[in-house]
Amino acid sequence: MMLRIPSKKSSPLAYKLLIYILLSSSVITLAITSYQLYSDYQNDIGLITQRFWQIKVSYLDSLSRSVWNFNEEQYEMQLKGILSLDDVVYVALVTPKNKILAAKGEPEVEYIIKKTFPLKTEDFGKTVDAGRLVVVASLKRIYYSLFRKVFVILISQGIKTFIVSTIIILLFYFLVTKRLWTISGFAKSIDLTNDEYLKLNKGAGKDEIDLVAGAINRMKKELKGNYDKIKQMNLQLESKVAERTIELESANIKLEKLATHDSLTGIYNRRKLDDLYGKYWQHACRNESALALGMIDIDYFKHYNDTYGHGMGDTALKKIAATIKESAKRPFDVAARYGGEEFMIMLIQVDYSGFKHILERIRKNVELLAIEHKSSDVSDVVTVSIGGIFIVPGDDHVPEKNEYFRLVDNYLYEAKKGGRNRIVCAKSLSRRPVTSVYSG
């Protein structure tokens, strides 16, 4: 038997439904496609922006030092690393006098995003201008990807529209129109309450759905009550589940913070410091960079509590903790309460002079808080003594943390023994002898 597509006269509702589906589908498809393309474009732009941020975080400090120290081999290698990032086509170092110091890649003139980073570094505690880093990213890949997606969508939508149109007409005719007569007769014979039937007018312009309207109306009336009850129960259940979920998430956040943060000062606790130590050591080994530890002790803090009370002592601890955290302000710098009136800082990606500068900044900033301390033997305000150690790992061995914690505690003791309100720090190359350096 030959398959024949039903005509508009034999199944008018099928054609009406088809028209509405095609129109609505086209509008929705256009809206979704536009949004998807826009979203993909923004995501690609976001990835490029993320790469710029990655360059800023991962390369800028070391690149600034390399340029300032005229380390050509190092900054050439760093430029190659930046150029290897996706979509980056050109990178250049420009001196403060606008002369190109070094460049990699080929700059393009269209469809690009250009980003300029100032190169700043510290030289003997002062910030100096080492020049600029210019990075150019190409948008050609993004535009080509969007064009390809549009082409694929148009082709696939055209094929899909043709297939769906044919299937809708055939399915609706065989699954709905031809069966409506049978369904209508069956539905009219069902009556759960009485023997009355809905009579339909079969005037001109009527379509197939009129034949089952009466049966659907009767079933809807009977089912509506149960449906409303079930819907209300579902809403109540969803509301309870949502409330419990929010409570559980809030409890988890609080538990996590209690496990990793000091309850009084709000900075990391000793447990979190211990957890981060091994990770930072491995980072220093992989990158052949330094790990710096600093231990801070509040001078004559017991006398302070005896004089002003523990309430004022807690307030002072909070202020000093906030000052330490602000002084070591890079995102990956670690500030933690070590115990009592002692605090620790842990730094990576820092040189020895920068480490000493940060320790001095902490000491000075605490002193600038001007917290009155009449019972101190060293100053009229609260001060701190600091011990520090600058470690350059020589292998992948992670030493027992107490090994270096004990060293930094010894230097803190020397700072206190030397008169307090001062810094004693040391520089160590793996297991080589340690040389101490004192500063007041």
| Cβ atoms of residues 423 and 415 within 8 Å | yes
Name the one residue in this structure whose structure tokens are 């609260």. 382
Question: Can you give the pLDDT at residue 285?
Answer: 86
Q: What does the DSSP assignment read for 143-163?
A: HHHHHHHHHHHHHHHHHHHHH
Bridge pairing between strands 384-392 and 423-429: parallel
Question: Can you give the pLDDT at residue 191?
Answer: 46
Query: Which stretches within 261-333 are classed as H helix?
Result: 270-287, 301-308, 310-327
| Closest CA relative to residue 130, chosen from 90, 53, 74 | 74
Question: Can you give the pLDDT at residue 313?
Answer: 95
Burial class (CB in 10 A: 0-12, 13-18, 19+), 288: exposed
Question: Can you give the pLDDT at residue 344?
Answer: 96
Give the up-direction half-sphere exposure of residue 299: CA atoms within 13 A in the CB hemisphere: 29
The count of other CB atoms within 10 Å of the CB of residue 221 is 10
> Which structural domains are found in the chain, ordered by start?
1-189 (no CATH), 270-439 (3.30.70.270)
Residue pLDDT tens, the chain, 440 long: 445 566 666 566 666 766 777 777 777 877 887 888 788 778 888 888 888 888 888 888 888 888 888 888 888 898 888 888 888 889 988 888 889 888 888 877 678 888 889 988 887 778 888 889 898 888 888 888 888 888 887 788 778 777 877 777 776 666 666 656 556 555 555 545 444 545 555 555 565 665 566 556 666 566 556 656 777 777 777 777 777 767 667 656 566 666 789 989 999 999 999 999 989 988 888 888 899 999 999 999 999 999 999 999 999 999 999 999 999 888 889 999 998 999 999 999 999 999 999 999 999 999 999 999 999 999 999 999 999 999 887 655 555 567 888 989 999 999 999 999 999 999 875 444 455 555 55
Among 341, 360, 367, 414, the active-site one is 341
Question: Can you give the pLDDT at residue 2?
Answer: 46
Three-state SS for 379-427 is: CCECCEEEEEEEEECCCCCCCCHHHHHHHHHHHHHHHHHCCCCCEEEEE
- Is 222 an annotated catalytic residue? no
What whole-number distance in Å separates Cα of residue 283 and Cα of residue 428? 17
Question: Can you give the pLDDT at residue 220?
Answer: 55
